[in-house]
Structure 1
């Protein structure tokens, strides 16, 4: 008759089996992560570049834009409490544009995150919303994917604007005496975006030379 195992021995065997299982599982997960890491990173970079190319024509620059980047610390001028990034576009080594991350902290439903391309002459090339929680069917027209006007989306009116055109007093929605259109009943979202873009334009104007010259820490 087989002698029954002691509770201590049984516990040790169980612990050993669990430890072996954990080690094998960890090794498999580590191997999977390592095998897919480059693919995931490449996919994320491609998605980021696709977004940037919506606001800055890819034929306008010839450098590796995502590699010509600055990492910012907290930057209140851009609403970046936790910091962010700036990418520099160049052609034949000459400055073409910067693409800035920015945040509008005062959206109707919270923060609105955006990217803004500003040409070397200070004019806005384009703006895109990257994250928001604005009310569907009301304030979310700030996002061209949600805007029903596909021929002339609301966000397109920033193209060609600069710090001096319109002047500082006109970087507001029309309801507040400015130059920027809005939809009746949904003023808060566009007001927040216009203010954020205006701050980014002023920041770029003040820091232009340094932004193109700086190296990322």
Structure 2
């Protein structure tokens, strides 16, 4: 079970500094969409340069032009790149093919996908399937990733899929989300905006470990 640190709405240097503070508690480091849009592939290159042993995720949110965009990410050093699950199927297929050539991974963002679409995407069982509540939904509608059964739709870890979860996740909401046995839990503001980011990340790691032990030994 991996913690993915989401870095958004900051400079590259601020992102590097934040990741350095919590690096002992996180496994994957996400170069957020906002960093990529503002600073381009330099953001991916700098994070990979600073953390060569971490899994670097380029949150590209590709919807089209898959081969070009994914090659950009992987040539810049990303280990994982994201594609929108609502994209045309051929786009997702191209992302999978491109990642395979680079020995990299794909994360499929299930934001605003139907259960039918999610079921269709099950064929990509080498990808990580990300259950996601958007930033706008969090800020404008007050939604968070709390109702596991509603948000999961057609996605189940027991069907052999690797799951990621993202969307305003907090220390309080985390135990309930562990029911889906996620491969990756994506945490942004709960760490980056905490008074003590290192302590916040440590506490999140602690809760995840406790939940895992309960499943194994409980």
- TM interval, short-chain normalised: under 0.3
Q: Which has the larger radius of gyration?
A: 1
When normalised by structure 1's length, the TM-score is 0.26
Q: Which has the higher contact order (CA 8 A, sep 6+)?
A: 2
